[in-house]
Chains A and B, each alone.
Chain A
């Protein structure tokens, strides 16, 4: 049914629609917000642009991007897949598109701390960028999706020749370093509740969604705390109506509030990203 039928002919709403100034109409008969065609098209284009590629690849001049493209191979990565192992030579460099990868520093074989989180804004394989062949982290897929990968050898060659690629990736390597450094201080000084809030915000940013799946066991492992501690911290955030956490499904209800509840580290990492 046409939701515009509910609007009176000649009313200010109808006039604004005719003037092309309206994006959406609230259809009370179905309790839905209906986007008008022009707005729908514009939003779809925006979404398309955002998912076209990885942020770092998108930051390259068109000619450089085109020259890299034949060497980039799209692939799907699955939850739990290990893309890089600590102490092992890096075979590929990955540019995530809509997946999320956690970088872990392992102490013993079953104990690890998350020192970085990579999504469409970054790259997995910064060791190669920094001239090392051996990975210093374990990279584990936390949210499956697509990524573009390039063989390590091809990448090193391209990196040597392409100045814009160097600029973009070195900048990101610095960002990753800041993330790790901040995490070290954060783990020592900040309350679990604030750290959990930060981790949820970072996840939401990388997945570009306010809803995602994240089990408490996993978060506990990433934050280096006990599961019961995470449960307690999540309960506090839930009590404050900042999030909803049910059977591993997180919904951020109040993003601003969650930002306020998170530690300063979230802003520190974000400011750096924004300044690029």
Chain B
């Protein structure tokens, strides 16, 4: 993914691409809790402020899961920047998550 700064917008702070993520979980079920913790750690380390994360509890909002085509939880969807990608499971496989987020370890 290219990260060119948009000149028009760049006033003051440097503009970086904001990664938009949505994590579907099932309440406080063990894998869901783990997925949140794993994802937060990854975001903290690699994305810092440059991300937006929405956590959707499918036990409370089953309709959202259906509308978004979610098959299982926990499930992480990267909505922006394109291409969209998703990872299922408790997100303990860091390389897999970084790949889906479009971040390669070598850029670090």
What residues of B have a CB within 8 angstroms of the CB of A33 in the complex? Answer: 26, 58-59, 62, 65, 73
A43→B90 contact, CB < 8 A: no
CB-defined contacts of B27 to chain A, threshold 8 Å: 43
Partner of B31, one of A6, A22, A28: A22
**What is the interface of chain B mostly: helix, strand, loop, or mixed?**
loop
Which A residues lie within 8 Å of B105 (CB)?
Answer: none
Asked if A24 meets B73 with Cβ closer than 8 Å, knowing A32-B62, A43-B27, the reply is: yes
Set of chain A residues within 8 Å of B32, measured between Cβ atoms: 23, 39
- In the assembled complex, the CB of B56 is this many whole angstroms from the nearest CB of chain A, namely 11
Determine the chain B residues whose CB is within 8 A of the CB of A28 once the complex forms: 66
Alpha-carbon distance between A16 and B86 when the two chains are bound, in angstroms? 13
Residues of A contacting B71 in the complex (Cβ-Cβ under 8 angstroms): 6-7, 13, 25-26
Task: Decide yes or no whether B19 CB sits under 8 A from chain A.
Answer: no
B92 at the interface (CB under 8 A from A): yes
Compute how far the CA of A82 lies from the CA of B72 in the bound complex, rounded to whole angstroms. Answer: 48
Q: Which of A17, A28, A33 has the most CB of B within 10 A?
A: A33
Interface size on A, residues (CB 8 A): 25
**A35 close to B72 (CB less than 8 A):** no
In the complex, the answer to whether A16 meets B89 with C-beta atoms within 8 Å is yes
CB distance from B74 to the nearest CB of A (A): 6
Q: Per-residue 0/1 for A6-22: is the Cβ within 8 Å of any B Cβ (1 yes, 0 no)?
A: 11000011001101111
Which chain B positions have C-beta within 8 A of A162?
none
B29 adjacent to chain A (CB < 8 Å): yes
Q: How far is the CB of A39 from chain B (nearest CB, A)?
A: 4
Chain A nearest CB: distance from B25 CB in Å? 7
Q: A2 at interface (Cβ–Cβ under 8 A)?
A: no
Given contacts A21-B90, A39-B30, contact A26 B70 (CB under 8 A): yes
Chain A contacts for B31, CB-based, 8 A = 20-23, 39
Q: Which of B74-90 contact A (CB under 8 A)?
A: 74, 87-90
CB-CB nearest 8 A-B residue pairs: A21-B89, A23-B29, A39-B29, A16-B89, A24-B26, A23-B26, A21-B90, A16-B88
Given A23-B30, A26-B72, 15 new contacts (CB under 8 A): A13-B88, A16-B88, A19-B89, A21-B74, A21-B89, A22-B73, A22-B74, A22-B89, A23-B73, A24-B26, A26-B65, A28-B66, A33-B65, A39-B32, A43-B29
Question: Could you show 8 A-B contacts with beta carbons less than 8 Å apart?
Answer: A13-B71, A13-B88, A16-B89, A22-B74, A25-B71, A33-B58, A35-B59, A43-B28
